[in-house]
Amino acid sequence: MTGREAGADLKPMPGESPIIVLVRPQLAENIGSTARAMANGGLFHLRLVAPRDGWPQERAWYVSSGAQRILDAATVHETVADAVADCHRVFATCPRPRHVVIPVCTARGAAEELVDICQTRALRSAVLFGPERAGLENDDMACADTLVRYPLNPDHMSLNLAQAVMILAYEWWNAAVDRTPPRQLMTNETHVATKGELETFLNRLVSELDASGFLDNLPKRPGMVRNLRHWFQRGEVTEQELRTLHGVVTELSRGRMRRGRPEAQDPALPWAQEQEQQ
């Protein structure tokens, strides 16, 4: 069953993906919010260790915002050891220094390791998150082989449970699934202008500036023209922006005092008029 009543049609990613283990969670709302965060990051497997108020709890489904299928599939375990018994690698989030010799990763570093563990080596992994008030205990972390710490403001490192899961889920999604470039130019219905289109506009602009007298200082003219060219060549000007600029030049040329060639001799004018009408 799909739709609003059953929530989003969520399902596990192909192959292995990290299991989120909530150790002694206290509030149903936090469990539901955790499921929502997991869904955002493409995580599906949720295990609960000794939830304080038992399981299931209706309030968790109420706040999961469409991630009900994750809650439907969640399993309950009496101990951490039982929850991770079928896992090959176990990570544990730990906000405070502990007197233990163990590898420590940031969320990004953990996500990169989890991609190698799950997708390259096809091993099963889990990430432990502790109770809301105090976090994981030493006995909980004794089941883990790697700690995860978030490099946050040392003067205020307080996260609620769902926020902590969201950070890891976000890094997992970026490392495992998302291929969105870190930066791109959104052009919508237009496109980046070709160098030929840009050259046509620049030739017309320089021609109009010559006719208006702006470039009359002959010793400075080459440098001024180069600066104009560098200005427009520096970015990715779109075809729509060039049409607008052609319109600007057209209106300026119509209003200026005629000092050079007549308007009819403008070699770019027919092309510019055609572009403005599109």
* pLDDT attached to residue 80: 96
Q: What CATH number has the domain spanning 19-177?
A: 3.40.1280.10
**pLDDT digit string, tens, across residues 213-261:** 888 889 998 998 988 888 888 778 888 888 888 888 887 777 664 445 5
pLDDT at 78: 96
Q: Which ranges constitute the DSSP H helices of the chain? A: 28-40, 58-63, 68-73, 80-83, 107-115, 138-141, 161-176, 195-212, 221-233, 239-255, 269-277
DSSP per position, 33-80: HHHHHHHHTT---EEEES-TT-S--HHHHHHSTT-HHHHHH-EEESSH
Domains in the chain: boundaries: 19-177, 195-254
pLDDT at residue 17 in the model: 95
Distance CA 272, CA 276 (A): 6
From CA 221, how far away is CA 210, in angstroms rounded? 9
CB distance 198 to 237 below 8 Å: yes
Residue 118 has pLDDT above 80, yes or no: yes
Question: d(Cα 270, Cα 251) in Å, to the nearest integer?
Answer: 14
pLDDT digits (tens, 9 = 90+) for 18-74: 999 999 999 999 999 999 999 999 999 999 999 999 999 999 999 999 999 999 999
Residue 210 confidence (pLDDT): 86
CB-based contacts of 187, cutoff 8 Å, min separation 6 = 238
pLDDT of amino acid 117: 94
pLDDT for position 273: 53
pTM (2 decimals)? Answer: 0.74
**What is d(CA 43, CA 41) in angstroms, rounded to the nearest whole number?**
6
Confidence (pLDDT) at 4? 37
Nearest 5°: the CA angle 112, 113, 117 is: 120
pLDDT for 2 equals 34
| Amino acid 154: pLDDT | 84
Query: Phi-psi bin for 50: left (phi > 0), alpha (psi -120 to 50), beta?
Result: left
* 155-164 tens-digit pLDDT: 888 889 999 9
